């Protein structure tokens, strides 16, 4: 059971000041959302009234309302969008500029950290969120996130350009929206766009949000998205040939900030 490995937050929910919004992007599997991400958020004592579940299709509303448990989320919002990229862009317009938003996928099974005691469940999600947004303020950027791999590092916080996976990331909603243009590899595109505008991202290294399932696209869709990404952002991307798919590394360009 997930709940058995998650240590509860040291503070009670009613006493915790939580000035953040939690955005869960979902579609097609309310049971998975109920048993993974919402369960994790409850175990970490995230106030349920701060959690908004965004649906892509209006037709799914009844199924989600019947399957999700009361007091595990605050609002269920229908976006009536036709693609994943439109859904992410829609949610930015939903929140006011300056709103600190934490995006989390609908299939998160564990959040792990690599500490001095080895790999173990993250002690405090609330603390991670606070640190992420605090670091954004320090370097005057709008985005923080976790790592994609569980690697040892001498630094727990990285500033600069890094790949922040779409599993768990924080965003200070800018007045001029960051709009992704593709539904596959959109997290890479978002990182590049933020870096170009703000000159830095914040990566909370040695922390990984583990997905229960990987809703991966087909190899053909991935390759098409990769080619488009390379054409548009060639100065920020290095492609490493692999089998069955190529992988990507992000790196700095000489011109970091676009005015």
Each residue of 55-85: pLDDT tens digit? 998 899 999 999 999 999 999 999 999 888 9
Report the interhelical angle of 186-198 vs 84-94 (nearest 10°). 40
**Average pLDDT value for the chain:** 87
Per-residue confidence at 242, pLDDT binned at 50, 70, 90? confident
State CA 229 to chain mean position distance: 19
Mean pLDDT of 5-27: 71
> Exposed, middle or buried by CB within 10 Å (0-12, 13-18, 19+), for 140?
exposed
Tokens, residue 210: 């583990």
Residue 16 predicted with pLDDT over 80: no
pLDDT number for residue 96: 96
pTM above 0.85, yes or no: yes
Q: What percent of the chain has pLDDT over 70?
A: 87
Residue 1 predicted with pLDDT over 50: no
pLDDT number for residue 120: 93
- What distance in Å separates the CA atoms of residue 73 and residue 69, rounded to the nearest whole number? 8
Place of tokens 């009613």: 14
pLDDT number for residue 43: 97
**Which one has a higher pLDDT value, 249 or 101?**
101
All residues at 6 or more sequence positions from 29 whose CB lies less than 8 Å from its CB, including other chains: 106, 107
Write down the architecture of domain 18-250 according to CATH.
Alpha-Beta Complex (3.90)
48: number of Cβ within 10 Å: 17
Residue 259 predicted with pLDDT over 50: no
- What distance in Å separates the CA atoms of residue 228 and residue 119, rounded to the nearest whole number? 36
Each residue of 141-164: pLDDT tens digit? 999 999 988 765 556 888 999 899
């Amino acid at each position: 059971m997930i709940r058995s490995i998650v240590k509860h937050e040291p503070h009670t929910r009613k006493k915790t000041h939580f000035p953040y919004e939690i955005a869960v992007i979902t579609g097609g599997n309310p049971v998975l959302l109920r048993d993974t991400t919402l369960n994790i958020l409850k175990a970490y004592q995230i106030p349920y009234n701060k959690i908004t579940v965004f649906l892509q299709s209006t037709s799914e509303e009844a199924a989600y309302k019947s399957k999700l448990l009361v007091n595990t989320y605050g609002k269920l919002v229908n976006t009536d969008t036709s693609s994943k990229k439109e859904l992410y862009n829609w949610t930015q317009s939903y929140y006011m500029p300056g709103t600190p938003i934490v995006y989390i996928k609908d299939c998160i099974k564990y959040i792990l950290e690599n500490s001095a005691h080895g790999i173990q469940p993250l002690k405090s999600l609330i603390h991670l969120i606070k640190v992420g947004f605090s670091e954004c303020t320090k370097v005057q950027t709008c985005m923080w996130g976790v790592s994609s791999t569980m690697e040892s590092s001498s630094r727990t916080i990285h500033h600069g350009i890094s790949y922040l996976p779409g599993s768990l990331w924080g965003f200070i909603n800018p007045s001029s929206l960051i709009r992704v243009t593709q539904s596959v590899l959109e997290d890479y595109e978002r990182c590049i766009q933020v870096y170009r505008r703000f000159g830095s991202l914040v990566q909370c290294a040695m922390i990984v949000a583990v997905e229960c399932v990987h809703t991966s696209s087909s190899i053909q869709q991935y390759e098409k998205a990769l080619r488009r990404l390379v054409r548009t952002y060639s100065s920020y991307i290095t492609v490493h040939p692999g089998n069955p798919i190529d992988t990507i590394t992000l790196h700095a360009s000489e011109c970091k900030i676009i005015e």
